[in-house]
Amino acid sequence: MTLEKHGENRFVVPIGPQHPALKEPGHFEFVVDGEIVTGASVRLGYVHRGIEKGAEDRTWTQNLYLMERICGICSHIHATAFVQGVEKLAGVEAPPRARAIREIFAELERIHSHMLWLGVAAHEGGFDALFMYSWRDREVVMDMLEMLSGNRVHYSANLIGGVKYDLTPDMMDKIREGLNYLEERLAHYLDVVNNDETFIGRTRGIGTMTREQAQLLGAVGPTARASNFAYDVRVDAPYAAYAEFPVEMVVAQEGDLHARFVVRILETMESIRVLRRIFENMPESELVTRVPRRIPAGETISRVEAPRGELFYFIASGGGEKPERVKVRTPSLCNWGTVITLAVGHKLADMPMILAGIDPCFSCNDRLVMVKRNRQDPQVWTWADLRNYGIEYYR
Amino acid sequence: MGLEQKTGNLGVVTTSLEQVVNWARTNSMWPMLFGLACCAIEMMAAQAPAYDMSRFGMELMRASPRQSDLMIVAGRVSRKMAPVLRQLYDQMPDPKWVIAMGDCASCGGVFNNYAIVQGVDEVVPVDVYVAGCPPRPEGLIHGVMTLHEKVKREKLKDWA
Amino acid sequence: MIKGLLTTLREMFQQPVTIQYPEVKRPVRTRFKGRHVLKRYENGLEKCIGCSLCAAACPADAIFVESAENTDEERYSPGERYASTYEINMLRCIFCGFCEDACPTEAIVLGDNYELSFTDRHQSIYTKDMLLEPVPPGGKPTPQNTEPGKYTRSVPVMQDPQD
């Protein structure tokens, strides 16, 4: 993603890697003509961690915990995507109750992710009161997740062949109570988003993306659904317990920032509705099925709907205790292209909002894979080589 | 500060001055808005109403390093990010402190590999390490309290 | 605008939600994963048998275990062996709880302590003395002098593990 020449007297505004807009590092360059942006480029890679390479050096179960750490917001869904792929390879299926619990975790995570985003996006728009409110209410979800799993961010709830934590009726009551409170608050936020004039002024008509653009640029998740592009893995290809407890797709027509706010808040309410339905008909079964330590050789893909959109895993097994190859494609990466296009024609002051509008997650992006030694010798580096290289580098 | 070199040891005056300055420093430490990964979420949660770091005079997350005293390195520092981090640290005015929040910033954590700096103390001097993956907001606040204890023990001679 | 101010007015009369952390500590949930604790049996013997399964399981390589032989005169744990060195680097540990799952004797448990901040990286290495829980009432500190043939099984017969 490089900039073309925009004439002799172009002016480039560089932003980042450390920047006031978002809390994770990324570098942006906006070409401006006065106040109006005429071109944009993104440079990523500041949080590259070598996770995919690291996965090849850990056992299947250890990888669960590694995969969770890809993203600090949607950690459970990463582990779910991985574990579903591995289960597919091993030819087992998680028991119904385990699948339902996975869905509960995923939906709770979606609630907390969307509320987090609501706060951050409002903060970018200079509406700090909403940030404080939504983060206050987010603590309710965080408390639920801590009650369920014991951790606030990386729940480590999944196991290959099931889940680790059961849900007691007592916990369900507490979660229901919290959900009632959240639903009330979310209705209030929806009211604020729809009726607050300053807020509408900052969001309506900004960053409008048509359905064709969304399709062309490969947008996924709520960003695409706000542009009337109805695509949701939970509906189109149900996984976990989504076949038994389906969700309804939330789609908006306008495609601007305001529509993205509305879609995400409505999606959160939909999650609450689904959670209540699961609690009513919680299937009874054990939590884990036995899975052999060595996963049979083969290749598979696994798709899930993360809070930000479609998350895609490719897993190859060589029949051993460790995966041969894991490839992750995260929703944030798909959505970056839209930012570059949408930025053109808007004022520079709208950029933080447009950036925040896709709900970017930088740590999701950076997963460079092929490291070549040199042109003559196109051999791919092994994990041990890379580690030695790292040790030498620091010496 | 150079005060002691000029006036010699003033005994009780410098001791009280020490206490006053250290008290002032602990009570208005502005952190820099610098999140890198998962820990940034918990850092923001610590800023949010439920934990409210402004009780410790940490009202504002300053986006500019020029206005901040405390750098909370929240998350893993990749090798690409390390020079940026150092530059930000150099731009901060003295006195400045660094908290390495979480496992990855403190020693690489689970990412024991080529891409991640194995502990941010290879790049900048770290005052307090906070363990956890990520630490709870309470854990971060405990780290801040540890830093306060450390700052309160600082001597006039060290500033000069 | 008046509507907005009404919201402000309404919120003014609500209870503040802030947890006054250093003074008031919110109790953690029962499933919370905090600092590890090495458990003991009721008679004071250590549950850990030094099998290193936790060290092998750990995704972050945070645990180091070295084991030595038990004798009846100097008995630390039931069975043949005990952990002579047990170190956890808290700055490496990612608090995932896989060591708990791997442990055959339920010796290692993730506790409730989350106040882990250090001014030096060396302080973060918790040794066995720091991790072991105190001797329960009625028990004796280890090493104990036990009668021969009593503690031959290293893994006890257990019911279903709880939370």
The total of other beta-carbon atoms located within 10 Å of residue C123's CB is 14
Question: Which residues from chain B sit within 8 angstroms of residue A69, using beta carbons?
Answer: 38, 110-111, 133
pLDDT confidence band for A102 (50 / 70 / 90) = very high
Q: What is the pLDDT of residue C139?
A: 82
Question: Which residues from chain A sit within 8 angstroms of residue B49, using beta carbons?
Answer: 132, 135-136, 139
A303-319 pLDDT tens trace: 999 988 888 899 999 88
Strands B70-74 and C81-89: unpaired
CB B142 within 8 Å of CB C117 = yes
For chain C, what percent of residues have pLDDT higher than 90?
9
Measured between alpha carbons, how far is A73 from A112 in angstroms, rounded to an integer? Answer: 8
Q: Is residue C80 part of a domain?
A: yes
Residues 6+ apart with CB under 8 A from A173: none
E-assigned strand segments in chain B: 31-32, 70-74, 97-101, 128-130
Complex ipTM value: 0.84
Q: What is the pLDDT of residue C97?
A: 87
Q: Please give the average per-residue pLDDT across A60-68, as a whole number.
A: 89
Q: Which of A131, A132, A153 sits opposite B38 (nearest CB)?
A: A153
CATH number of the domain within which C53 lies: 3.30.70.3270
The two tokens of residue A386 are 């890379």
DSSP 8-class letter at B113: S
Contacts 24+ apart (CB under 8 A), A310-318: A310/A220, A310/A221, A310/A231, A310/A233, A310/A334, A311/A74, A311/A77, A311/A78, A311/A81, A312/A81, A313/A81, A313/A82, A313/A85, A314/A85, A315/A82, A315/A85, A315/A86, A315/A89, A317/A86, A317/A89
Nearest to A79 by CA among A165, A166, A156, A161: A156
CATH number of the domain within which A172 lies: 1.10.645.10
Q: Please give the average per-residue pLDDT across C3-21, as a whole number.
A: 76
Whether the bond into A360 is cis, omega within 30 of 0 = no
pLDDT confidence band for A1 (50 / 70 / 90) = very low
Length of chain B (residues): 160
B104 is in an annotated binding site: yes
Annotated binding site for [4Fe-4S] cluster: which residue ranges of C? 48, 51, 54, 58, 93, 96, 99, 103
Question: Which residues from chain C sit within 8 angstroms of residue A139, using beta carbons?
Answer: 17
Q: Is residue A164 part of a domain?
A: yes
Question: Which residues from chain A sit within 8 angstroms of residue C110, using beta carbons?
Answer: 150
Q: In what order do the strands lie in the sheet with B31-32?
A: B31-32, B70-74, B97-101, B128-130, C117-118
Residues 6+ apart with CB under 8 A from C74: C143, C144, C145
Q: C95 vs A61: CB contact, 8 Å cut-off?
A: no
Instruction: Return the exposure string of A80-97: e unless at least 16 CB atoms fall within 10 Å of the residue's CB, then b.
Output: bbbbbbbbbbbebebbeb
Helical (H) or strand (E) element with A317: strand A309-317
Q: What is the pLDDT of residue A206?
A: 86
Q: Is residue A384 part of a domain?
A: no
Q: Is residue C107 part of a domain?
A: yes
Q: A152 vs B37: CB contact, 8 Å cut-off?
A: no
Q: Is residue C56 part of a domain?
A: yes
The two tokens of residue A355 are 């950036």
A131-190 pLDDT tens trace: 888 888 888 899 899 899 888 888 888 889 899 888 888 999 999 999 999 999 999 999
Q: Is residue A115 part of a domain?
A: yes
Query: Cα separations (Å) of A152 from B42, B107, B116, C96?
Result: 9, 21, 24, 11
Q: How many domains does chain C have?
A: 1
A14-32 pLDDT tens trace: 887 777 666 778 888 888 8
The torsion angles phi and psi of B81, rounded to 5 degrees, stand at: -85, -20
Measured between alpha carbons, how far is A391 from A15 in angstroms, rounded to an integer? Answer: 32
Q: C96 vs A156: CB contact, 8 Å cut-off?
A: yes
The total of other beta-carbon atoms located within 10 Å of residue C14's CB is 7
Q: C59 vs A156: CB contact, 8 Å cut-off?
A: no
Q: Residue A4's Cα: distance from chain center in Å? A: 31
Residues 6+ apart with CB under 8 A from A309: A219, A220, A221, A222, A223, A224, A331, A332, A334, A335
Question: Which residues from chain A sit within 8 angstroms of residue C32, using beta carbons?
Answer: 146, 150-151
CB A387 within 8 Å of CB B114 = yes
Residues 6+ apart with CB under 8 A from B20: none
CB A183 within 8 Å of CB A189 = no
Kindly report the three-state secondary structure assignment for every residue of C64-106. Answer: EEEEEECCCCCECCCCCEEEEEEEEECCCCCCCCHHHHHCCCC
Domain ranges, residue C114: 28-131
Measured between alpha carbons, how far is B155 from A30 in angstroms, rounded to an integer? Answer: 47
Q: What is the pLDDT of residue A266?
A: 93
Q: Is residue C120 part of a domain?
A: yes
Residue for token digits 């509008």?
A: A357
Q: How many domains does chain A have?
A: 1
Q: Is residue A39 part of a domain?
A: no
Q: What is the pLDDT of residue B10?
A: 62
Q: Please give the average per-residue pLDDT across A232-244, as a whole number.
A: 89
Whether the bond into B95 is cis, omega within 30 of 0 = yes
By CA distance, what is A60's nearest residue in C?
C59
Q: B129 vs C93: CB contact, 8 Å cut-off?
A: no
Residue for token digits 């409730």?
A: C112
Q: Dihedral (C-alpha) A126, A127, A128, A134: value to the nearest 10 degrees?
A: -140
Measured between alpha carbons, how far is B35 from C96 in angstroms, rounded to an integer? Answer: 22
| Residue C79 or residue A386, greater confidence | C79
Measured between alpha carbons, how far is A359 from A267 in angstroms, rounded to an integer? Answer: 14
B79-105 pLDDT tens trace: 888 888 888 889 888 888 999 988 888
Question: Quick check: B76 contacting A, CB < 8 Å?
Answer: yes
Query: Cα separations (Å) of A98 from A86, A145, A162, C69?
Result: 15, 16, 5, 42
Domain-wise residue ranges, chain B: 30-154
The total of other beta-carbon atoms located within 10 Å of residue C127's CB is 12
Measured between alpha carbons, how far is A104 from A245 in angstroms, rounded to an integer? Answer: 10
Is the pLDDT reported for residue A106 higher than 60? yes
A151-161 pLDDT tens trace: 888 888 888 98
Q: Is residue C15 part of a domain?
A: no
Domain ranges, residue A161: 93-289
Measured between alpha carbons, how far is B40 from C61 in angstroms, rounded to an integer? Answer: 24
Q: Please give the average per-residue pLDDT across B46-66, as a whole number.
A: 81
Q: Please give the average per-residue pLDDT across B105-109, as a whole number.
A: 85
Query: With the C-alpha atoms ordered A331, A337, A342, A348, is the resulting torsion angle positive or negative?
Result: positive
Whether the bond into C143 is cis, omega within 30 of 0 = yes
Strands A162-163 and A158-159: antiparallel
In this structure, which CATH number among 3.40.50.2000, 3.40.630.10, 2.60.420.10, 3.40.50.12280 belongs to the domain B30-154?
Answer: 3.40.50.12280
Binding partners of C (≥3 Cβ pairs within 8 A): A, B
CB B136 within 8 Å of CB A152 = yes
The torsion angles phi and psi of B94, rounded to 5 degrees, stand at: -70, 150
Query: Which residue, among B39, B42, B114, would best test binding to A if mutated, counting the most A CBs under 10 Å from its CB?
Result: B114
Question: Quick check: C130 contacting B, CB < 8 Å?
Answer: no
Binding partners of A (≥3 Cβ pairs within 8 A): B, C
Nearest to B137 by CA among B110, B101, B104: B101
Binding partners of B (≥3 Cβ pairs within 8 A): A, C
Is the pLDDT reported for residue B66 higher than 90? no
Measured between alpha carbons, how far is A32 from A350 in angstroms, rounded to an integer? Answer: 13
By CA distance, what is A155's nearest residue in B?
B133
| Mean per-residue pLDDT of chain C | 84
Q: What is the pLDDT of residue C146?
A: 82
Question: Which residues from chain C sit within 8 angstroms of residue A65, using beta carbons?
Answer: 59, 94, 96, 98
DSSP 8-class letter at A285: -
Q: Is residue C74 part of a domain?
A: yes
